[in-house]
Structure 1
Amino acid sequence: MDVALLTIGDEVLAGDTANTNATWLASQISDRGSSVVRILTLPDDQRLIAETVREWSGVFDAIVVTGGLGGTHDDVTAAAIAAAFDRPLTVDDAVREDVVATVAAYRGLEPDAVTADDLELDVDAWAALPAGCRPLVNPAGLCPGCVLGNVYAFPGVPSEMKALFESVAIEFEGNGVSRTIYTSQPEASMIGAIAGVRERFDVTVGSYPGTEANNRLKVTGTDRAVVDAAVRWLGDRIDVVADE
């Protein structure tokens, strides 16, 4: 699978919030054998989000959107995804019940006995999702996520995003495999070896300077035997100090 990640939030673009969601998701998706081929951050702009989702949905196998879900003034992601697919926003009964139960529990109230005044929030605004989507009830917070076509939408709160991703993680299983090797050699001394392994094997090789003494090479392909053979070939030509 080729997967694109779309992070929503003015606060991310302003540098007020680190984009840890994209880093975590990219790692999780890559570990499952799929490829993250695009990462983009957009402001809380409903039109721009809708245009991007509409375009990307026809290009990539899956799009993962994080942030901008909920019932506050700048939460426009659900409406944007609905607009991208020409759908209205609707409220699923099970999602609404979960929102009510979550707020009631937070305030120490019984869900069956609360009223809208007791909750002091617009439940429908928090529960609204694009019509026809697959709702994802949030086990770690208030705001639900959803899946519509090949678009997966999660809240921006990291703990909630992780919980909802785990509920659909199996859908990102792919056939990609990779191994990482570490070397004390500088990148410039490995140019020939990296070019050679790419010519001989059906793999990609990423070279990443290390933060400490060792540099890192990540060898990725779709066949475990080929990846292993490529790593062995590299091991005969560079000083490998560790691999995983």
Structure 2
Amino acid sequence: MNTAVVTVGDELLAGRTTDTNATWLCEQLATRGVTVERVTTVPDRVGDIARVVNEYRAEYDAVIVTGGLGPTHDDVTMDGVAAALGTDLTEHEDADAWLEKQGYSHADLTEGTTELPAGARPLHNEVGVAPGAALEGVYVLPGVPDEMRAMFETIESEFVGTPTHRAVVVADEPESALLDRLERLREEFDVSVGSYPGESVRVEIENVNETTVREAASWLRNRVETTDDGR
């Protein structure tokens, strides 16, 4: 399963808010063996949201959109998603009924709170008020981190892939000096290899087969100067 993550918000693009949602979602999806192919941030504009969601839903198994939910003037994510899916926003009776059970009467809610794309399945907000939605492989979640995480946990079983195994070898050599051995590593083993320089070079080795990863990591450790972190 492959996915794209779209985060919405002018404040993210201005650097006023750190996008922790995308990082957290990528971690959760990777743990479930789901590949994240794109992470994109778009402004609070219906056209931008619709264009990106429409493009990604054609390319990937699922698109997760966070941010911009609610009834205020700049909460336009549902409008953008509805436009991408070629549908309209409608008052969702199930979302209304669920909120009433939580103690919110329809009169208490700001107009538009429970408007979702027609035909969408509501995703109830256990932590806040504004509901999310799921339709045609597009999942719309809140931008508030606590609300987003709680809502994702209610749908995480819908994201299934092949878990990968990972080993880390920390080499006390310049990255440029490792190039020949990293190339040989890829030739000897069917693994993905990433190298990340800093004070040392972290070499990350990944494959769906745990034995292959373990053997590849052992092979590399025997050929570099290492300060292995044991993971």
> Is residue 201–residue 226 contact of structure 1 (8 Å, CA) maintained in 2?
yes
Structure-2 change in CA distance of 1:75 and 1:115 (3 Å) = closer
- Aligned partner of 1:154 among 141, 144, 152: 141
Tell me which moved more, 41-50 or 145-154. Answer: 145-154
Alignment TM-score, normalising by the size of structure 2? 0.91
The offset of 1:214, in angstroms, is 4.6
Specify the alignment match of 2:44 in structure 1.
44
Residue identity opposite 2:223 in structure 1: R
Partner of 1:220: 206
Contact in 1 for aligned 2:165/2:207 (Cα 8 Å): yes
Q: Does 1:166 align with 2:153?
A: yes
2:115: which partner in 1?
Answer: 128
Contact 1:140–1:163 (CA<8 Å) still a contact in 2? Answer: yes
TM superposition shift of 1:101 = 5.1
Query: Does residue 234 in structure 1 map to residue 224 in structure 2?
Result: no
Instruction: Give the Cα separation in 2 of the matches to 1:36 and 1:133.
Output: 23
Structure 1 residues 194-223: Cα deviation after superposition (integer angstroms, max 9, x where no partner):
22222222221122235xx55422222232
Q: CA deviation at 1:242?
A: 2.4
Aligned residues of 2:171 and 2:203 also touching (Cα < 8 A):
no
Report the CA distance between 1:85 and its aligned residue. Answer: 1.1
Identify unmatched segments of 5+ residues in structure 1: 105-110
Between 1:92-101 and 1:131-140, the stretch displaced more is: 92-101
Given the alignment of the two structures, is residue 144 of structure 1 paired with residue 127 of structure 2, yes or no? no
Deviations 1:47-93 (A, max 9, x none): 11111111111111211111011111011111111111111112222
2:15 corresponds to which residue? 15
**What pairs up with 1:201-216 in 2 under 5 angstroms?**
201-210=189-198, 213-216=199-202
Quick one: which amino acid aligns to residue 177 of structure 1?
T
Identity of aligned residues (%): 41
Residue type of the alignment partner of 1:224: E
Structure 1 vs Structure 2 CA RMSD: 1.9
CA contact (8 A) 2:100 2:106 kept: no
Whole-angstrom distance in 2 between the partners of 1:141 and 1:174: 30
Give the CA deviation at 1:120: 6.2
Report the equivalent of 1:108.
Answer: none
Deviations 1:155-175 (A, max 9, x none): 000001101111111222211
Aligned-residue offset at 1:152: 1.2
Runs of 4+ residues deviating >4 angstroms: none
Give the counterpart letter for 1:19 in structure 2: D
Aligned length: 229
Shift of 1:232: 2.1
Alignment map for 1:51-200 (pairs within 5 Å) = 51-100=51-100, 102=102, 104=103, 111=104, 114=105, 116=107, 119=108, 121-122=110-111, 125-185=112-172, 186-200=174-188
| 1:9–1:67 contact (8 Å) kept in structure 2 | yes
Gaps of 5+ in 2: none
Cα deviation, residue 146, structure 1: 1.4
Pairwise CA distance, 1:176: 3.5
**Per-residue deviation, residues 126-151 of structure 1 (Å, max 9, x unmatched):** 11111112211011111111111111
Whichever residue aligns with residue 241 of structure 1, its letter is D
One-letter amino acid matched to 1:6: V
Deviation of residue 178 (structure 1)?
A: 2.6
TM-score, normalization: structure 1? 0.86
Q: Per the alignment, do residues 184 and 196 of structure 1 end up closer, same or farther by CA in structure 2, a change over 3 Å counting?
A: closer
Instruction: From the superposition, tell whether residues 115 and 95 of structure 1 become closer, same or farther in structure 2 (CA, over 3 Å).
Output: closer
